[in-house]
Chains A and B, each alone.
Chain A
Amino acid sequence: MLKHNKSAVFLLIAALPVALIGALGSGPVSVDLVSALAEGWGGQSSDAVILWQLRLPRALLALLVGAALGMGGAAMQGMLRNPLAEPALLGVSSGAALVAVLFLYYGTAWKSGWLLQALAIGGAFSAAAAVWLLAGRGASAGRLVLAGVAINAFLSALIALALNYAPSMFAMQEVVFWLMGSLANRGWDQLLLALPFLGLGAVCLFFTRNYLRALALGEDSAASLGFQSRMYPFIILLGIASAVGGAVAVAGTIGFVGLVVPHLVRPLVRQDPAKLLWVSALAGALLLLLADILVINVVGAQELRIGAVTAFIGAPFFFWLIVNARRGQWL
């Protein structure tokens, strides 16, 4: 059993470079990968420029955003002890998106990328904190999820409203970018902006991994095992906000990855909520990269938003969850 699980995780890791090569080979222009790779970073041929400046950053950004969403979803589910929890659910994603939208379309934040990232993370965190306050101290997971759904709906409406009144004439049609996410036309600059915040989120979650483990037994048991400080949920929320908020600011809200991925890989880590973080990050990265390859090859320049593709994958999974729940497994 254990060996089987380890080899599955190994397969996941091995699949990453394969998918990466697939992503580098996908695009509207056919590129000679080998010679473009051989030319290296500073290559001047169009093949090399396309590979190094366009495809590689986009593929890496897909990996990074997927990892952030997978990890954020795993942390959220662990913290709420609820398999339906997702960063988008607690309003974390839409909080980040709303702040990003406000500062991008109404302000000048886009001229300083770091500021935008920090603000988006602040938005993500305040949204989560608002849910926390609305649900009340020590709220049950059910109440928290209810509060999250309410806040999330409200924030999504605010995003649409903000874009409706934005001065740019393109703003209205871009609602869909923010609510469905997109990786189109992103480059190294966006990747470098999101990367440190994913790292910060991972560090936060690394520090709280044992709390997540203990929390599998419930709050009282976790407290009796030495995890009674209010700091733990705070640090987890900060970690989720940092990773997910950083990703949302550059790619919009991409749903379902945070929900589906932890479910898929939970058996691989023997349900351990701590190891789940890292394997979910891995699988989330892989899933989003595969979804992006699908977007590039099937839809082409007429971009279907990547969120639509992940929803295509996620919705049937939701059906499966419901059917499972009706069989009385674990909901």
Chain B
Amino acid sequence: MAAHSHKRYLPWWLLLGAALLFAGKAQAYERIASLNLCLDQVLLHWAKPADIVSLTWLSGAEQYRSLPIPQHVQLNRARAEELLPLQPDLVLAGQYGAQRAAQRLQTLGVHVVTIPDAYSLEQLQRQLDALEQVLGPLAPLQRQKRALSGLLEQSTGGGRPSAVILSANNITYGSGMLEHQLLQRAGFENLVSGQGLGRISLEEVIALRPDLLVFYGSEQHFALAYLAARHPVLQRYIDSGRTYTLPSQLSLCPVLAVVDTLQQLMDKRETLVKAQ
């Protein structure tokens, strides 16, 4: 059985080999596939739709869909067998997940590039560089890069209002996390100074008395996880406009959301400082 399929794929191998030779020179890929939800989104937002051949099925799922998927794009479940017949000239993989498929494709001679994940601003910048290197100087990508470094160079004015992140299931974000860095860069002081992810009870939120209460992600569907954020004790924050909601895109694919989020947080700080 295995030998049989090898024989069947032989012509494809030759073809792929040839494609690879060309790819080295041409740089601009025309048949790009992705094995990673975030990279799906990156391609959808930044690459030419005609250059995309396949994205993961998650991008088609209702809760993750941010842009319509072009008709010709095939959805994959991160299996090498699905991608091979599509003859991709570039397969983008994330650092984690779909590793088996990525390796298999690589041994079969497909050009696979692993894009590092990003959990901090520094990693985000490296990710942008890596994306630019492989995808070429796409205009929206470069715009995003410029906008990000522009925002990071901006110095925030005086006054550092305090903030606390209250995410689903009472999760909060401490130092080392991208969300924490964004707050800092926007001129806020994150009152949760612990390392990484932590839990925060409503009592602690109230006792910390942050100037800004930051929720995370919009609740499209009910879950008990959101009970804390819907607790009436937080109503005063909502009524006085001292809340901000981080987009859920920030956790799925920060590279796309980071600029908008940082800009909105800066604006929010501005209004808070003015109001004080």
Asked whether the complex places CB atoms of A and B closer than 8 A, the reply is: yes
B142 interface contact, C-beta 8 A: no
Taken together as a complex, chains A and B put the C-alpha atoms of A226 and B57 apart, in Å, by: 67
**Cβ of B18 < 8 Å from any Cβ of A?**
no
A188 to B224, CA, bound (A): 16
- Inter-chain CA distance A329–B262, complex, in Å, is 71
**Closest chain A CB from B199 CB (angstroms):** 4
**In the complex, which residues of chain B have a beta carbon less than 8 angstroms from the beta carbon of A171?**
221, 223
User: Which residue of B206, B226, B227 is within 8 Å of A50 (Cβ)?
Assistant: B206
Q: Mark B67-101, 1 if CB is under 8 A from A, else 0.
A: 00000000000000000000000000000000000
Q: Find chain B residues with CB under 8 A from A47 CB.
A: 207
- How far is B206's CA from A170's CA once the two chains are assembled, in angstroms? 25
User: Are A104 and B222 in touch, CB under 8 angstroms?
Assistant: yes
Q: Are A301 and B232 in contact (CB under 8 A)?
A: no
A46 lies within 8 A of chain B by Cβ: yes
- CA of A302 to CA of B206 in the docked complex: distance in angstroms? 18
B199–A49 CB distance below 8 A = no
Contact partner, B228, options A167, A185, A300, Cβ 8 Å: A185
Contact: B223 with A27, CB < 8 Å?
no
Establish whether residues A170 and B225, one from each chain, have CB atoms under 8 Å apart when the complex forms: yes
A169 on the B face (CB < 8 A): yes
| A55: chain B residues within 8 A (beta carbon) | 203
Question: B183 an interface residue at 8 Å Cβ cutoff?
Answer: no
B207 pairs with A105, CB closer than 8 A: no
B201 to A186, Cβ gap below 8 A? Answer: no
Instruction: Decide yes or no whether A177 CB sits under 8 A from chain B.
Output: yes
A105 engages B201 (CB within 8 Å): no
- Contact call A189/B232, Cβ cutoff below 8 A: yes
B231, A185: Cβ atoms closer than 8 Å = yes
CB distance from B214 to the nearest CB of A (A): 17
Interface check B233, CB cutoff 8 A: yes
Cα distance, A171 to B169, chains bound together (Å)? 12
Distance from A175 Cβ to chain B, minimum over Cβ atoms (Å): 10
Residue ID in chain A nearest B64 by CB atoms: A169
Is A229 interfacial (CB-CB < 8 Å)?
A: no
A53 touches which of B62, B169, B233 (Cβ 8 Å): B233
Give me 25 A-to-B residue pairs in the complex whose CB atoms sit less than 8 angstroms apart, sorted by A's number: A27-B201, A28-B204, A29-B203, A29-B204, A29-B206, A46-B206, A46-B209, A47-B207, A53-B232, A53-B233, A55-B203, A168-B221, A168-B222, A169-B63, A169-B223, A170-B168, A170-B224, A173-B225, A174-B224, A174-B225, A187-B233, A188-B232, A189-B232, A301-B199, A302-B199
Which residues does B use to contact A, with CB under 8 Å? 62-63, 168-170, 199-204, 206-207, 209, 220-228, 231-233
Which chain A residues have a beta carbon within 8 Å of chain B's beta carbons? 27-29, 46-47, 49-50, 53-55, 104-105, 110, 166-171, 173-174, 177, 182, 184-189, 300-302
A46-B209, A50-B207, A54-B202 known; 16 new pairs, CB 8 Å cut-off, are A28-B201, A29-B204, A46-B206, A49-B233, A50-B206, A53-B233, A104-B222, A105-B221, A105-B222, A167-B62, A168-B225, A174-B224, A182-B224, A184-B227, A185-B231, A301-B170
